[in-house]
Structure 1
């Protein structure tokens, strides 16, 4: 999927909502545990109920890897379902990969070719040769961790080296890599005051923004500083939508929560 196609979906749906599919078997409705594949059945119900209101889904792969080979099968079934029935929706593998070049090439093949994701999150710490293998895939996107929403982000990301914060150096350096037009960036919603500085460096890039809702990020603060002419934001909500209810009405409640967020976004998109 191209960035232009993603923007088209945003304009059409008047939404830049991304829903995180982080499935914990201890939290999903108990009646689903009787099914052959509870993870997939949960995801399918959430997707069918909320696809009208979002432009992206983001499974965090840890929530699937934790259940071994069955969890991986459930992830594959989820992405196959999205690609078959909702191909217009952008898919993000929240895998936070990044290793030496030949290993990164295999990670890229796994997520882009085997699983069929549109994008994958990548850690920039090992530099150019660990990221460029992901960027080599046409119409696929590499979402680089830039400034995250967790408390530990201040341990390294905002520290200054030669008077420049590390996250700014990551952003600047990444623009010099081959196929950097395929880059997007993770910027946490709890760091809303940093968005104006980030936009000075990457004015045209899409930013994936976790942390709205349960983690305390504010949608309007993020949009005030982070919007660009293409909208340029994917606001992620996970727990606030998918676990809105643990009862038989979980899909209906997810629908309502997604609609609520989309309605706020519609006012912004216009």
Structure 2
């Protein structure tokens, strides 16, 4: 999916919502465990109920690969079930030496046909470039994350006094463009989003941390939105686990619609 199409979908749905499919067998409603494929049964219901409001879905690959071959089958069925006009993100956080990254890229872009993949930048250009060689596919590079350990490296000063995340932003823009490169930017501190936006004014940000992790959607929009929206805001637990009962799909829809309605107002205000 190209940038123009993605922005068009955001405008059409008045939404920049990404629903995270962090599907855990231990958390899904117990009645689904009787299904032949409980993970897919859960995802199918979530997709059916939230597709009106979501412009992206983000399966976290760890939840699937932890289940072995059956998990990969559930992931593939989920990916095929997602409507084709909705952006798909493989939250895989890959990144290795060049020939290995090339195979990761082929796996997620050719074999599974995701629109994008999250990539760790620590090993540098040759670990990221193979993912950028695919037409209308996206790298979503980890820039400034919201987890506690992000302070260990990401904000440390480098030679010249720049924090490491700034170096990542500046250097990586030599490898890709705002048509194939996005950044992961955590939502828990709005002023940090503003700081990242200074160094990447035209790129899309994938923003986790809204909802269960305490991030403010209004702050994210205020500090992070650009003329093409430039945001995909992810909510996982707050939507998919809104209920533990048979009404989980309907409750997920209610939570997704709440976010979409707030997003519609923010788009009108800032974009």
Q: Scaled by the length of structure 1, what TM-score is found?
A: 0.97
Asked whether the 8 Å contact 1:93–1:119 carries over to 2, the reply is: yes
Give the aligned partner of residue 60 of structure 2: 60
Structure 1 stretches of 4+ with a deviation exceeding 3 A read 178-181
Asked whether the 8 Å contact 2:154–2:163 carries over to 1, the reply is: yes
Give the drift of 1:194.
1.1
d(CA) in 2 for partners of 1:109 and 1:198? 30
Give the aligned partner of residue 4 of structure 1: 4
SS of equivalent to 1:212: coil
**Are 2:87 and 1:93 equivalent residues in the alignment?**
no
1:218 to 216, 219, 222: 216
Asked whether the 8 Å contact 1:189–1:210 carries over to 2, the reply is: yes
Asked whether the 8 Å contact 1:132–1:179 carries over to 2, the reply is: no
Unmatched 5+ residue regions in structure 1?
none
Give the drift of 1:191.
2.8
Q: Scaled by the length of structure 2, what TM-score is found?
A: 0.97
Asked whether the 8 Å contact 1:148–1:187 carries over to 2, the reply is: yes
Asked whether the 8 Å contact 1:149–1:189 carries over to 2, the reply is: yes
Q: Deviations over 1:233-257 (max 9, x none)?
A: 0000000000000101000000000
Give the aligned partner of residue 141 of structure 2: 144
RMSD across aligned C-alpha pairs, in angstroms? 0.9
Give the drift of 1:16.
0.2
Give the aligned partner of residue 50 of structure 1: 50
Unmatched 5+ residue regions in structure 2?
none
Give the aligned partner of residue 119 of structure 1: 116
SS of equivalent to 1:48: helix
Matches within 5 A, 1:69-80: 69-80=69-80
d(CA) in 2 for partners of 1:196 and 1:225? 5
How many pairs are equivalent? 267
